[in-house]
Chains A and B, each alone.
Chain A
């Protein structure tokens, strides 16, 4: 039973705006992943701390993030 943030890795451009918007600082650009376009997509590291504020999704220019609340 947790809030859920889904980041579409094919769409994410690794711009990092979500990492700055997240008040819990749980979104990171982890260095070891590249998508087909060569971007390093963002990842939510500790989903259980997510408060489903939606700020990451609001900030994302590419609508790559979906947020659902439990």
Chain B
């Protein structure tokens, strides 16, 4: 018998605390598999953020630092500037990255910090019970937009990859999804490319992963995958928004 699929060795034995069918689990696997396959587990330091993935430090078998809400890119900056030979990644949700942490996100990209940001976008605040996020769609019902997000009150959703692609410091920005196996494979390839950039000191990479939140969307896990495809993908098109990988070696100047 040959193994077709087994659990990554970079994941701990701790059972994931995410809701049934939550795609955080899938994304955790992809990050773990990339770290394992690229042989960098020993020198990886992850930065956990605040949101449903706040306990991420229990799930990855690498050194990890817990950051305050939104500050993960700044914490990652402190880490990578102190440990330039290490592999540093952050793992953030839409509130963490695009609301409270948007300044830290934009400036880490603008400085082309040599880090990987894994951005889990499910258009809602999961941990605190389903409130509106900066990426909540117009008309989407959440706990704090009970009549559907109204642009005249709450403005418009933020397209992070598009926004960061305008910055010279952004080396690589790609949006992927994990709603089916082909997309999961593409998501893994994007994450691998991001880590490859980091290892080769090419600067800032972000992979935005369209994800589901069955619990707060009020849908079954399987129906959530459909909702993602029908609603999130049209507003947040998948694809590569910036790729300066060829330019390379951005971080060689300092240090």
Contact = CB atoms under 8 A, between A and B. Distances in A.
Contacts of B28: 61
A16 B184 contact: no
A41 B25 CA distance: 17
Interface stretch (B14-22, B38-46, B136-144, B232-240): B14-22
B4 A68 contact: yes
A12 to B, nearest CB: 9
Grouping DSSP codes into helix (H, G, I), strand (E, B) and loop, the B interface class, with mixed when no group exceeds half, is mixed
A15 to B, nearest CB: 3
Contact of B225 (A3, A20, A54, A70): A20
Interface string A30-51: 0000000001000000000000
Interface stretch (B5-13, B107-115, B168-176, B243-251): B5-13
B152 interface: no
Given A14-B20, A60-B25, 4 more contacts: A59-B26, A59-B181, A61-B28, A63-B25
Interface of B: 1-8, 11, 15-16, 18-26, 28-29, 180-181, 184-185, 214, 220-222, 225
Given A17-B225, A63-B8, A69 B21 contact: no
Nearest to B7: A63
A16 B181 contact: no
B32 to A, nearest CB: 9
Contacts of B5: 54, 57-58, 65-67
A61 B16 contact: yes
Contacts of A67: 3-6
B222 A61 contact: no
A17 B222 contact: yes
Given A4-B1, A62-B16, A68-B4, A15 B181 contact: no
A68 B3 CA distance: 4
A28 interface: no
Contacts of B214: 15
Contact of A61 (B3, B26, B180, B181): B26
A53 to B, nearest CB: 8
A21 interface: yes
28 contacts: A3-B4, A11-B15, A15-B214, A16-B21, A16-B221, A16-B222, A17-B222, A17-B225, A20-B222, A52-B4, A54-B4, A55-B181, A58-B181, A59-B181, A59-B184, A60-B26, A61-B18, A61-B21, A62-B25, A63-B11, A65-B5, A66-B6, A66-B7, A67-B3, A68-B1, A68-B2, A69-B3, A70-B1
B20 A39 contact: yes
A58 B221 contact: no
Contacts of B220: 16
